Structure 1
Amino acid sequence: MIGDGVIPSNNGRGYVLRRLIRRACRHGRLLGVNEPFLYKVCDTVIHENHVAYPELADKAELIKKIILSEEESFGKTIDAGLGLPPGPDQGYFGGKGHYRG
């Protein structure tokens, strides 16, 4: 998609691309990969598909740059979301006279 000029965005094909990249990132995190990794496999994917899509080789650096940017952006979003305040079992409501469940 990036090779055809689509970039991650909030609407249309760009939104579909963003969702695909973020889903892959999320599954990577579920497997324990907590750093950008998709951009690292771009060269392999481009090489394996060079017969069907020869134009991708010329755009490889742009493709990797866009994917890395989206991975980093999503990583920051996930990390911010995981920084939630502590729950009741961690002393958040632990003062004297406060409800302790």
Structure 2
Amino acid sequence: MSMRRVHVLLGVLAAVGLLSAAAPSQASPHPAGFSCPAADGTFNHQDLNKFWHCSNGIAHEKQCAAANPPLVFQEDPRGAPHEGRCVWPWESDRELSAR
């Protein structure tokens, strides 16, 4: 394939939104004022159904899977690097204290 065809193909992909021509955005190390307490691990979010996943000191906001009733994120009591998990509301200390 010629270089011209490659450039045309990349232009078409960018035009239809399958390829971003912009530089990739970098995750903020402190989104919404959150600072990772450890470089790696999962941590409580103010919203019970969400949690922070820190990887190499960069925080990523994540959400528990959809369920009825909504699941609640529970940190592992041993702390990082042990991963927390999403549990039923009646299994969480957070849910009970948030009532």
User: Normalising to structure 2: TM-score of the pair?
Assistant: 0.20
Q: Which has the higher contact order (CA 8 A, sep 6+)?
A: 1
